[in-house]
Structure 1
Amino acid sequence: MDDRALALPAFRLFLTARTISWAGNAITLVALPLLMFQITGSPALTGLLTAVEAIPYLALGLVAGALADRWNRKRVLIVTGAFSGLTLATIPAAAALHSLTVPHVFLTALTMSTLFVFFDAAGFGALPELVGRDRIPSATANMVACNTVITLLGPAAGGALAAAIGPAWALSIDAAAYLIAAGVTARVHWQPARLAPPTLLSAQALWDDIGEGLQYIWRTRIVRWLTIIGAGASISAGAMLGLMIVVGLRQFALTEHDPKLGLLYSASALGALIISLTISRIQRALPTGWITILALSISWLAQLAWAATTSINVGLVILVFFQAATTLSIMNGIIVRQSLAPEHLQSRVNTTARMIAWGGTPVGALLGGTLAEHFSTSLAILICSAGTAAGLAVAAGAKLWRVPPLARLRSGHHAH
């Protein structure tokens, strides 16, 4: 791990809170789609669940980013985390009363995803406040490393736990993790910057704030192209994520109670971990544009291989490469945006860019689920991989190989 950010006590406590939350999330990653498939037996509804979870970011990303740049970011993190825990706890409560329904699962997923939009917006702005601009790559790498270690181990444990006590009851652990993490965040000693006076915000002022973030994204060439490319790649990523459980059951012939379902997510986490431990060196060694082109190329090839294999062992290796490439693309974009964007634009630029870049996720999840409902999962993955291929074509057309390394971007060269 890069220890530059870890030298700061406030960041260490902040990272602890996030790690507790991620530990619970790793269980939900397996338990929630598995719960939906157990209730309905429908790949389409399972894919729709992933789509529903992505919709709030599309609908509220612009607004949440603008508001988070005005609000106390620490308070937003605490409140949204606590309410997420209380919301998720309604599923095991309903299961205990034998009253759990499909609409309840969808509503819970939608509510938690809505809270996450505001949590994420505040988190983007909080990180530079905590560590300073120069430590952003170090802090991001450490956060992703911790996240992926948890995700590497958690899904396998989550799959075993869901098989042992049922997915609804497994979700109660994530609910508790949210509440504990909110309490730890409250103990982080940092004074968030007040970026706007605490006055009543008019609709025009909110729109002006949103417009300022959009203008920055459009004017800054590398941010603009990374955002546009990500929109196409997210269609493919949405299909991969939305069909993960279905591929395990159909293509690899696993059973609903097989703990190996969790290994699919663990393999993805391993790929993310590899990148989180090497991203700083990659960004120092390679130009920013070449990182994007390399990531998209590996991701596309991995999707083609994923569609073709029927072996769980081969599939796990493919997922490592796919998630490594996907994580490389995501982290590269996040670090570039956080390194270049002015302090007063951090939340809205990052949430807006993520909203646009990953706006295809619900489309891909829904499209993949619908195709798998009527055809094979292999054909569904192949069709949806066109999103990544399109992103690769755009990267080539935009001549991204000319974009310099991050150090030169940060110093002002080619920032626009």
Structure 2
Amino acid sequence: MRLIPVAYLSSYLLSLLGNSIAGVAFPLIVLQITGSALGAGTVAAATAVPAVLAGLVMGVVIDRINRRTSSVVTDLVSAVSVAALPVVDMVSGLSLGWFILFGIIGSLGDVPGMTARDALLPAIVRHGGISSERLVGIREGLGAVALLLGPAVAGTLMVLFDGSTVLWITAATSLLAALLTLLIPHRVGEVVVERDLVPPGSGWAQLRDGWQVLLRSPFLIATTALTVVSVLVLASLQGLVLPVWFTQIDQPGMLGFVLTALAAGMLVGAGVYAGAGARGARRTWFLTGLVGTTVGFGVVATLSSVWVVLAGAFVVGLSSGLFGSLMGVLMIERIPERMRGRIMGTQNAVMTAAPPVGLLAAAVLTEYISVEVAAIALAGVWLIAVAVGLFARSLRHLEPEPAATTDDAKVGAARA
């Protein structure tokens, strides 16, 4: 494999691993220093809104500047925001306000960083001598590795070191991700569009144009909806329903094994797609991923036994690895190059906002009815999304469009 895809994938893994470690360690450090569970929740809530807003508006910037540069800058923002905390701790001591301030600053790099890397994918395919199926499949597999290793690494670091040291290590992962991205030649990240296709007007006008393309495209609406609902259901099951259920049956320690089964399934599914995704009809891969995810969610929602739930989680992960990889390839092909930052920024922002909505709904059902009803309701939501996806006309033809070589052709494909 050439240097360009290796540098990209290594940077992606380190960035995602750093976020995974921070997601576990950061609330624990806040709790250790402030002694307040409400404080940890306040930091999470305070950083959620800026992250969503940044994802919505920063797409314009990503469409205007070199995308390698965007990726490097967002990783540096994440690194500096985390590294600033131990510095403040040494100078004056940390308080809840400092966590909120630097949490907000760091959140401004999270979704835009994700978008910058997503927007860079087509260029990595063009310059890296690698197929989109293989690249996206490997990327999804590395995401599963980060999901699997992150909590374990975070827990180990919290045992071996104090909070400040853990924060330095977390910041270092983002810094290394930025340095690895610099190994990608600057020309790879250039936004190449026809001169007469460069959108005129203000940043807000360009942002509106991107939203219009997204909202007027049945294909993009359908694929975005399926991805968002999948994230909502999975986050709600993993973040609320399963913790409550395992607590009720006096086996809270088994929750970690669900995450392991899910990540293992994703790793297998992504590996299969990386190796065989270029062969066979894409509609077949699409149906396999959708049906498999539906079966997995249905099995988990039964809450019949620990081993059944673990098996369901593995099936969900396996099918998500296939489905997510295919969606990544389709996004490379169907989103117009000149609007990639704006459209993918909006998609990532919505996916960031979806889990809290699902968690709140699941919490209400669990509190006032039962955890079993909450699980069934979440599976029902996914079943509705699958029905829409199966019958959507825009998702019937998923093969590459040979004629879609210009930017205007890509806009037409997106609107199909």
Q: How far is 1:65 from its partner?
A: 1.6
Structure of greater relative contact order (alpha carbons < 8 Å, 6+ residues apart): 1
Show the counterpart of 1:285.
280
1:103–1:301 CA distance, 2 compared to 1 (3 A) = farther
Indicate conservation of the 8 Å contact 1:85/1:176, yes or no.
Answer: yes
CA drift of 1:70 comes to: 0.2
The answer to whether the 8 Å contact 1:272/1:323 transfers is: yes
Q: How does 1:150-161 map to 2 (within 5 A)?
A: 150-161=146-157
Structure 2 residue matching 1:188: 3-state secondary structure: coil
Closer, same or farther: CA 219–359 of 1 in aligned 2, 3 Å: same
Of 387, 391, 403, which aligns to 2:381? 387
Q: Which amino acid aligns with 1:237?
A: L
| Structure 2 unaligned residues grouped into runs of 5+ | none
Task: Give the structure 2 partner of residue 3 of structure 1.
Answer: none
| Pair 344,404 (structure 1): closer, same or farther in 2 beyond 3 Å | closer
- Whether the 8 Å contact between 1:156 and 1:263 is mirrored in structure 2 is no
For 1:398, which of 371, 388, 392 is the aligned residue? 392
SS in 2 for 1:273: helix
The TM-score, its normalising length taken from structure 2, stands at 0.78
- Structure 1 counterpart of 2:126, from 127, 132, 136: 132
Corresponding letter in the other structure for 1:189: P
**Residue type at the aligned position of 1:217:** L
The worse-fitting range, judged by mean Cα deviation, of 101-110 and 182-191 is 101-110
Within a 5 Å distance, the mapping from 1:305-320 to structure 2 comes to 305-309=299-303, 313-320=307-314
Higher mean C-alpha displacement, 221-230 vs 245-254: 245-254
Q: Is the 8 A contact 2:243 2:255 kept in 1?
A: no
Call closer, same or farther: CA 1:160–1:318 in 2, change over 3 Å. Answer: farther
1:242 aligns with: 239
CA contact (8 A) 1:226 1:333 kept: yes
Q: Which deviations, in whole Å up to 9, do the C-alpha atoms of 1:290-315 show, x marking residues without a partner?
A: 54454344334433443443755544
1:332 partnered with 2:326: yes
Distance 2:223 2:125 in 1: 25
Cα displacement string for residues 321-378 of structure 1 (whole angstroms, at most 9, x for unaligned residues): 2233334333322220111223222222322334346642231133335555666554
Q: Which amino acid aligns with 2:155?
A: G
Shift of 1:399: 4.9
Unmatched 5+ residue regions in structure 1?
Answer: 1-5
- CA RMSD, aligned part only? 4.1
Q: Alpha-carbon deviations, 1:87-120, whole Å to 9, x = none?
A: 2235566778996556655555443332112212
Structure 2 residue 170 is matched with structure 1 residue 174: yes
Q: Which residue of 1 aligns with 2:17?
A: 23
2:180 is aligned, of 184, 198, 208, to 184
Distance 2:399 2:53 in 1: 33
AA matched with 1:59: L
SS, match of residue 338 in structure 2: helix
Does the aligned pair in 2 maintain the 1:271–1:323 contact within 8 Å? Answer: yes
- Structure 1 counterpart of 2:227, one-letter code: G
Q: 1:252 to 1:79 in 2, by over 3 A?
A: farther
CA distance in 2, matches of 1:98, 1:267: 43
Within a 5 Å distance, the mapping from 1:113-262 to structure 2 comes to 113-132=107-126, 135-163=131-159, 165=161, 170-191=166-187, 192-195=189-192, 204-243=201-240, 246-247=243-244, 250-251=247-248, 253=250, 262=256
Deviations 1:121-142 (A, max 9, x none): 2212222223318733222222
Contact 2:114 2:348 (8 Å CA) reproduced:
no
The offset of 1:51, in angstroms, is: 6.6
- Which residue identity lines up with residue 344 of structure 1 in the other structure? R
CA distance in 2, matches of 1:246, 1:283: 38
Q: Secondary structure at the match of 1:132?
A: helix
CA distance in 2, matches of 1:50, 1:76: 25
